[in-house]
Amino acid sequence: MSVSEQQAPGTDGTPSPATPGRLYGVGLGPGDPSLMTVRAVQVIGEADVIAYHSARHGRSIARAIAAEHLTADHIEEALVYPVTTESTDHPGGYRGALDEFYEAAAARLAAHLDAGRTVAVISEGDPLFYGSYQHMHKRLADRYPTEVIPGVTSVSAAAARLGRPLAEADEVLTILPGTLPEEELTARLASTDAAVVMKLGRTFPTVRRAMERSGRLPEAHYVERATMSGERTEKLADIDADTVPYFSVTVVPSRIASPPPEASAASGPGEVVVVGTGPAGPLWLTPESRGALASAQDLVGYTTYLDRVPRRPGQRRHASDNKVESERAELALDLAGRGRRVAVVSGGDPGIFAMATAVMEVAAQDPYRAIPVRVLPGVTAANAAAARAGAPLGHDYAVISLSDRLKPWEVIAERLHAAAGADLALALYNPGSRTRTWQVGKARELLLEHRAPDTPVILARDIGGPEESLRTVRLTDLDPHQVDMRTLLIVGSSQTQAVRRDDGTEAVWTPRRYPEG
């Protein structure tokens, strides 16, 4: 039936355009025809045209699912991909070949719609979830009345066939294509609570390595052709890569509903991971650290830092005061010795004036030497403050703590003299507290022996937190009463510049080029 045959004569005897047809994107579910929705069956039955995608072999999974609802009255449009995973000599490459195909396919469907026919583009799973239909939707939905019929996704089907909840309570479920680079997959798997990786097939070796590197392999399940004939479910670690088809997924289910198996002392020691949470909230947390915190059975740390970590059912928390680092380290190692996975929670970077040193000191002694210890880096306060200010640490710099609780002031003064004399920019940690009120003034006097009075000094307080403040003053105007334990000081070198910008902010940076002579 041609487009012109769908037109009725107008009052002047000329053809008038037919009312355009309606476009449907129809989700068929994961494969079992009985999982099609009532609405999907209804739309297919009423459609004039049934369109479906397939590879060049012509076998369409979508058509096979819907086959019992197709009739001789349906006009079938097979949209056959010119390429799938193979190479192409198209001048635009693989993407160019597909774009050209989608444009041509959309034009074929538009001809039916212009003729007033109802077109149903059927798609396995859900039409707008990695579905082929979405390419037609982008090209046609703004021109024709359109309705999308959702379908059961392969993700839901896989979880149902495994009998494993995907996510519970506040857990985050991440859905990933296996085509991502291995590093990206590893980072995202490490940082999420639960995950589904789709589009396996040739990507399976990469996905498996990412699971192993992120520590998620023991939790991962493999589901092939969920709800279809030939369905297979196994532990991912047991799968032969040569047997994996494209229509398979990997599921890392809810840790709350399906916690990883607990180790015991009989099976060997657990592990201590020292985690840096950065200077403030979750935006400063690395994916690796987020994953370590999520998978730990025990969290050990200073109460303030533990409060930054979301509570998870089943995790034990061991909070303590800020002045018992060695005791915290011993507790963590004792727990790991009983087979527990332990995260020692530290602020900033754990290796910079923080918990990594305490843990390593204790771990070097008997009976803890056999217990695995890892340290995960975090954004340290100096780098966070420097980024907020501009680039004051853009050249050589020194990091010094002004706290004399663990070393005498004479050592601190000697190091300040040496660093200032070498014209290094300085990041000064722990400058003051309720019981230490004179160190900042002494440091200022000492530094003025080596630096000009107008040297920029950045006062960075609670960077990344709710009370964040950042000010730049001259060294000679540095007021010790404006400095507390939550403040970090950055003192410029002789080359450090401070410039007021048009928006009223002040940018501070230290040039990378140092003058000769």
CATH topology of domain 382-509: 3.30.950
Please compute the mean of the pLDDT values over residues 408-425 and round it to a whole number. Answer: 97
Bigger pLDDT: 449 vs 310: 449
Residue pLDDT, tens place only, 326-347: 999 999 999 999 999 999 999 9
Q: Two tokens at 368? A: 């803890």
Bigger pLDDT: 262 vs 92: 92
The side-by-side arrangement of strands in the sheet containing 390-391 is 390-391, 506-509, 497-500
Q: What is the pLDDT of residue 283?
A: 84
Please compute the mean of the pLDDT values over residues 428-443 and round it to a whole number. Answer: 88
Residue pLDDT, tens place only, 116-153: 999 999 999 999 999 899 999 999 999 999 999 999 99
Q: What is the pLDDT of residue 241?
A: 94
Widest distance between CA atoms in the chain: 104
Bigger pLDDT: 369 vs 2: 369
The one-letter code for the residue type at 401 is S
Please compute the mean of the pLDDT values over residues 279-292 and round it to a whole number. Answer: 86
Give the number of other CB atoms < 10 A from CB of residue 195: 26
Q: What is the pLDDT of residue 432?
A: 84
Check: CB of residue 419 under 8 Å from CB of residue 492. Answer: no
Please compute the mean of the pLDDT values over residues 87-101 and round it to a whole number. Answer: 81
CATH topology of domain 265-376: Cobalt-precorrin-4 Transmethylase; domain 1 (3.40.1010)
Residue 78 has pLDDT above 80, yes or no: yes
Q: Two tokens at 297? A: 């059975």
Q: What is the pLDDT of residue 294?
A: 86
Check: CB of residue 116 under 8 Å from CB of residue 23. Answer: no
Level-2 CATH architecture, domain 155-252:
2-Layer Sandwich (3.30)
Domain spans in the chain, listed from the N-terminal domain onward: 20-152, 155-252, 265-376, 382-509
Q: What is the pLDDT of residue 2?
A: 32
Residue pLDDT, tens place only, 35-49: 999 999 999 999 999
Check: CB of residue 149 under 8 Å from CB of residue 208. Answer: no
Q: What does the alpha-carbon distance between residue 232 and residue 245 come to, in Å, rounded to a whole number? A: 11
Residue 6 has pLDDT above 60, yes or no: no
Per-residue DSSP letters for 434-477? SS--SHHHHHHHHHTTTS-TT-EEEEEESTTSTT-EEEEEEGGG
Confidence label for 265 from pLDDT (cuts 50, 70 and 90)? low
pTM listed for this prediction: 0.78
Cis peptide before 367 (omega within 30 of 0): yes
Q: What is the pLDDT of residue 11?
A: 42
Confidence label for 263 from pLDDT (cuts 50, 70 and 90)? low
Identical topology for domains 265-376 and 382-509: no
Per residue, the 3-state secondary structure of 208-228, as one string, reads: HHHHHHCCCHHHCEEEECCCC
Query: 164-168, 254-258, 416-420: which range is least confident on average?
Result: 254-258
Residue pLDDT, tens place only, 460-506: 999 988 899 999 999 999 999 899 888 999 999 999 999 998 888 88
Query: 13-27, 113-127, 332-346, 440-454: which range is least confident on average?
Result: 13-27
Residue 5 has pLDDT above 70, yes or no: no
Helix (H, G, I), strand (E, B) or coil at 413: helix
Q: What does the alpha-carbon distance between residue 86 and residue 396 come to, in Å, rounded to a whole number? A: 51
Task: Give me the residues paired with residue 278 across strands.
Answer: 348
Superfamily of segment(s) 20-152: Tetrapyrrole methylase, N-terminal domain (3.40.1010.10)
Please compute the mean of the pLDDT values over residues 209-224 and round it to a whole number. Answer: 94
Q: What is the pLDDT of residue 271?
A: 95
Q: What does the alpha-carbon distance between residue 38 and residue 30 come to, in Å, rounded to a whole number? A: 15
Confidence label for 256 from pLDDT (cuts 50, 70 and 90)? confident
Instruction: Please measure the distance between the N-terminal and C-terminal CA atoms of the chain and give it in whole angstroms.
Output: 88
Share of the chain above pLDDT 70, in %: 94
